Amino acid sequence: MTILIVGLGNPGEKFEKTWHNLGKETLENLAKNSNFSSFKENKKKKFSFSQKEVFGQKIILAKSLTYMNESGEAVKNLLSFLKLKPKNLWLIHDDLDIPLGKLKISKNRSSAGHKGVESIINYLGTKNFVRFRVGIGGKSALAPYRNLVSGTEVLKKSSQKKLNQAIKLATGALIFAVQNNLEKAMQRFN
């Protein structure tokens, strides 16, 4: 089975190291640590991707070249270009409703207000895909990170350690899911 893993985020240096780019940064971390080739850009179709066989499965890592809230067009283009169905899609993104340091894997769920996911559901006409939702908030942690979540403020050094921990958790969950299967990953991480 081919798995397309898309890390959501915004393009440009202005948005690097922000909570809202957690999905994209996790994907880049996974690519680097798993020796994927350099990402190939398709500017016309608004995405970049890299691929490799891992544990006997073809894994494609991809990033949208659009802003987060416009991710749907790039993801639809990716699926069409790669001749894949939404069921082959795994999204990784930040989630304000999940406490910092936690991760939830879900399938076939609504956007719950996440504008990037909402765009993808609208473009694909389905919510039948997998989401790795990486916690950046929760009730206790919400207030200190409200501005960071918007993707407009670069992380301060004091927050970089927490961001790196979230990226490490998400990268580990993706690797575990590819190696073992999605159901086992859901049992372990949810």
Instruction: Cite the active site residues.
Output: 20
Rounded Cα distance, 107 and 112, in Å: 13
By the 8 A CB rule, do 178 and 3 touch?
Answer: yes
Q: Going along 27-174, which residue ranges are E strands?
A: 40-42, 47-54, 57-64, 89-99, 103-107, 130-137
In this structure, which amino acid lies at residue 93?
A: H
By the 8 A CB rule, do 66 and 46 touch?
Answer: yes
Rounded Cα distance, 130 and 87, in Å: 7
CB burial string 74-107: b at 16+ within 10 A, e below: bbbbbbeebebebebbbbbbbbbebbbebbbbbe
Number of residues in the chain: 190
